[in-house]
Structure 1
């Protein structure tokens, strides 16, 4: 290893979540949670609806809000439900492709990579901060001399997930356009499976830069302005739609429509509006495939 870092507690956590070997493949550490949400009026023999999530924001801070969304769907469908939480985007996507979940809040990159595999379809898109779009940022400390991606040659970078558009794929595409690749361009790259973790890795000088979701960055900017003031954005991706809500294609049509209507009108109820605000979601709007069009081929 070219440089030795102080053994900060965060570094120990980062090394658990990500491989710290230079230019080596990263083993995924899977985090999961499954909970049953069942109203008293529902018979146990009814099959539960399965909702899968992988949160852009801190899972610890947001899980309570996702539970309320599940409770809301339970009431609308009059069926029990299971909340499935996964850390990796690959797992969430495969759940939908293979029929392991009925509904998912799918990350954008994962949707683009897996949409042609079949098994699911989009029904809604998240509107955040008044827009259905977001960006990928490359951030670094403000004190660093780096001004653009080219300045990071040989430097260390944190990524979110190999299937994340903002946290990996847009950087990969930028480098490919320049005849480079991730392994040869950067000195070391790690996967944190947390945008917050990636930001903290930069703040703690564990890495020189990080590719993060603009929504996560802007959220942290609101909650921790003093910390984010120490950072600067040196690259910005093209805009893409925020993560869509997708459903299993072979669900009954009547149930599909009920689920779709439930998401699109969720913000109209005061309690659910507060739940969505806890996730920095303004509301869900109708799905449009144009939100997810990219001018290049994205491969797994």
Structure 2
């Protein structure tokens, strides 16, 4: 028995070694992980910069234009020597709340969203987009030529597509127009839907899914250039007052130096050869200095 007890520990050791040996062939220690650990040096701390966050809710197709917006985000990040993150949101409320709550540092804010939320604070305008030679745009009510509609009055009881409940061109100006006629937008139409895309709203008219749609004039003009045959079967039966295109806004509590760098970057972007293709892809001629007067035409709607 004494010899047996002496043999057992030896067998256990051999067994453990064999078991460990079988695992060693599949398990590897990656010592490079230790090289990635942060150090306390001042140089490393300076290299670790928080990303600059640019938020968008594009009036144009986000699928087709996302690459151009990424170029803008990267351009700004490079100027600030910080990594850049592009944040995309579908609705105007989402992108506005990002700016109000500090979830983004910069936003290409839709006009309706700026007017609706500007009194909430948290952000300020630094630039405005100039498109097709103008800093202004319109809201259009569009129907098919064959419909026989000629004014908004003809749409009573009809089905209509809207962009977003906070969109000026895609909803608010229609609401205002009906209020002037003593009508309520919620009961005037037979049915209304939100598409969250001006292009989808136009497609809904072209496909006879709805009788009419409220859309951004910039999107309509873009379609005129790209698909003139489709636009020929559409007609504009209503038009809003002119107002400024979507402003570029920044978080109010950013450092003053960063604010100035961001503002200068947008205002000189059209002068950079590396950015011309991106701006052309977004149909932006250039960014011009922000002026609150571009948006005062809708002051009464800001409640």
| TM range, smaller chain | 0.7 to 0.9
Residue 184 (structure 1) aligned to one of 183, 187, 200: 187
**1:162 alignment partner, SS class:** coil
**1:131 corresponds to:** 134
Query: Is the 2:158–2:189 contact (alpha carbons within 8 Å) kept by the matching residues of 1?
Result: yes
Q: Where in structure 1 are there 5+ consecutive unaligned residues?
A: 1-40
2:247 to 221, 226, 244: 244
Structure 1 residue 105 and structure 2 residue 76: aligned?
no
| Structure 2 unmatched runs, 5+ | 1-43
Alpha-carbon distance between aligned partners in 2 of 1:295 and 1:69, rounded to the nearest angstrom: 29
The alpha-carbon deviation at position 91 of structure 1 amounts to: 0.4
Q: Any idea what SS the aligned residue of 1:234 has?
A: strand
Compute the displacement of 1:44 (Å): 6.5
Q: How do 1:204-283 residues align onto structure 2 when only pairs under 5 Å count?
A: 204-283=207-286
Correspondence 1:140 to 2:143: yes
Provide the aligned length of Structure 1 versus Structure 2: 260
The structure-2 alpha-carbon separation of the partners of 1:42 and 1:123, relative to structure 1 and needing over 3 Å to count, comes to farther
Aligned position for 2:60: 57
**What is the correspondence of 1:66-145 to structure 2 with a 5 Å cutoff?**
66-145=69-148
Mapped contact 2:51–2:82 kept (Cα < 8 A)? yes
For residue 294 of structure 1, report the CA deviation from its aligned partner: 2.2
1:45 to 28, 45, 48: 48
The CA distance in 2 between the partners of 1:143 and 1:280, in whole Å, is: 30
TM-score (norm 1): 0.85
Structure-to-structure mapping, 1:14-33, within 5 angstroms = none
1-side partners of 2:203 and 2:258: how far apart?
Answer: 42
Tell me the secondary structure at the aligned position of residue 164 of structure 2. Answer: coil
Evaluate the alpha carbon distance shift between residue 197 and residue 164 of structure 1 in structure 2; reply closer, same or farther with a 3 A threshold. Answer: same
**Shift, 1:271, TM fit:** 2.1
Equivalent residue for 1:154? Answer: 157
Q: Within 1, Cα distance between the matches of 2:265 and 2:213?
A: 36
Distance 1:295 1:62, change over 3 A: closer
RMSD: 1.4
CA displacement 1:44-91 (0-9 Å, x = unmatched): 631111100000000100000000001101110000111100000000
Runs of 4+ aligned residues of structure 1 deviating over 6 Å after TM superposition are: 41-44
Larger helix percent: 2
